[in-house]
């Protein structure tokens, strides 16, 4: 008579794939997003990302507002990168209307964009580590500490701490106050120490290494074909950054590097964001040294009426390329507006990044992309 152990080894375990709906969740858990996941046990066989639960209709709302009134709508797209969203939109209108921005206004914009990049990356890395169960909330709270300093500076210039709408067509809504530059100088001097502190806390963290190394790989060719951008693209080894590839504002005056990864896994996406914070500090240091006098905004009529035509303006937000395609019919509002959002396109590669991995790896990989559903929603 065969033993029970030999019977169990001869028996083939038959499983049947089943569908698991992950989401939509509360906006604080990476947004209103649903993943329809086909599983074989805990292994992902297929994944379908499903968008469209916010129903904001920002592109359509823009048609009923003046060019300046559209700016507050852009704050809500990437709400952790509002300054950069403002910049992308006003650039498109300036190209459309042929408006020149004063040099001081351009420097202020760059300073705000790079502070925004650091602030956004702090939250991207902090929430990602939280998704991994890495030291629970400790790294996130460390990163909140420095983000608060950045928000204090934003509050100095525009009175707000989340949705800023500080950029204006032709420059910014107001010059930086007298006390701003000393605070910025102190922040730039201190921040490298804090980034080193994060790395010391995380460099040998077993949870981080086990759940990110070799997990959620996005190959270079697929990243390019999926039109990925930002840290997601650069982590796959593609050295593409609009600040270098198609310089705008005064970025061509600064010396900085474009960090890239080697593998394109969750770990590389984390590392690229850490390295980008160092480069943002380099840009800020140079911007402070070169900071010119003069006006912060061009003098323009209250209601803009660009000539009939179309324009596309783009910037390198912390999440990647954000662009606005704006069409004018010579009225005071855009005739049409379409947004090129980074996270929406980055998410299209999610299936290829998680098939063959476990359910827990889906959460980790999803978190490594760094999305905001305001710009993903259609």
- Residue 32: the pLDDT is 79
Does residue 193 have a cis bond before it (omega within 30 degrees)? no
Cα(338)–Cα(374) distance, integer angstroms: 14
- Per-residue confidence at 9, pLDDT binned at 50, 70, 90? low
- CB-based contact 73:167 (threshold 8 Å): no
- CB-based contact 158:173 (threshold 8 Å): yes
- Per-residue confidence at 152, pLDDT binned at 50, 70, 90? very high
Cα(234)–Cα(204) distance, integer angstroms: 23
Is pLDDT of 160 > 50?
yes
For the segment 63-79, what is each residue's pLDDT rounded down to a tens digit?
A: 999 999 999 999 989 88
- Residue 7: the pLDDT is 47
Cα(176)–Cα(62) distance, integer angstroms: 28
- Residue 204: the pLDDT is 87
Indicate the average pLDDT of the chain: 93
Take residue 306 and report the two structure tokens written for it. Answer: 């660009």
Instruction: Determine the average pLDDT of the residues in 206-223.
Output: 96
Q: Considering the entire predicted model, what is its pTM?
A: 0.94
Is pLDDT of 359 > 60?
yes
The closest alpha carbon to 216, from 197, 244, 194, 235, belongs to: 235
Angle subtended at Cα 62 by Cα 173 and Cα 158, rounded to the nearest 5 degrees = 20
Please state which of the four CATH numbers 3.40.50.720, 3.40.50.12780, 1.10.645.10, 3.20.20.150 is assigned to the domain occupying 59-376.
1.10.645.10
Delimit the domains of the chain by residue range: 59-376
Is pLDDT of 178 > 70?
yes
Take residue 252 and report the two structure tokens written for it. Answer: 């061509």
Q: Lowest-pLDDT range, 10-19, 61-70, 137-146, 160-169?
A: 10-19
């Amino acid at each position: 008579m065969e033993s029970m152990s030999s019977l169990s080894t001869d028996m083939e375990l038959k499983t049947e794939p089943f569908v698991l709906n992950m989401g939509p969740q509360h906006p604080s858990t990476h947004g209103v997003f649903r993943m329809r996941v086909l599983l074989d046990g805990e292994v992902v066989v297929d994944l379908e990302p499903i968008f469209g639960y916010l129903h904001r209709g920002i592109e359509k709302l823009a048609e009923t507002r003046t060019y300046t009134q559209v700016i507050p709508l852009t704050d809500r797209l990437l709400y952790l990168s509002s300054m950069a969203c403002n910049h992308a939109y006003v650039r498109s209108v300036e190209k459309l209307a042929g408006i020149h921005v004063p040099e001081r206004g351009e420097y202020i914009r760059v300073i705000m964009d790079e502070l925004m990049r650091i602030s956004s990356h702090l939250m991207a890395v902090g929430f990602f580590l939280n998704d991994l169960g890495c030291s629970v909330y400790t790294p996130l709270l460390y990163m909140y500490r420095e983000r608060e300093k950045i928000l204090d500076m934003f509050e100095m210039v525009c009175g707000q701490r989340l949705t800023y709408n500080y950029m204006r067509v032709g420059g910014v809504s107001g010059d930086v106050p007298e006390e701003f530059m000393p605070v910025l100088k102190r922040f730039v001097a201190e921040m490298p120490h804090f980034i080193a502190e994060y790395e010391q806390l995380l460099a040998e963290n077993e949870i981080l290494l086990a759940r990110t190394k070799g997990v959620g790989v996005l190959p270079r060719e697929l990243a390019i074909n999926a039109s990925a951008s930002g840290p997601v693209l650069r982590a796959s080894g593609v050295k593409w950054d609009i600040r270098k590839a198609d310089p705008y504002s005064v970025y061509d005056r600064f010396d900085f590097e474009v960090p890239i990864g080697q593998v394109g896994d969750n770990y590389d996406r984390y590392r690229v964001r850490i390295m980008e914070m160092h480069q943002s500090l380099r840009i800020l240091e140079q911007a402070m040294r070169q900071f010119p006098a003069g006006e912060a905004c061009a003098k323009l009529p209250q209601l803009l009426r660009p000539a009939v035509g179309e324009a596309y303006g783009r910037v390198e937000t912390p999440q990647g390329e954000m662009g606005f395609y704006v069409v004018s019919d010579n009225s005071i509002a855009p005739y049409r507006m379409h947004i090129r959002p980074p996270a929406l396109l980055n998410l299209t590669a999610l299936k290829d990044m998680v098939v063959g991995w476990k359910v827990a790896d889906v959460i980790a990989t999803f978190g490594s992309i760094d999305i905001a559903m305001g710009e993903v929603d259609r």
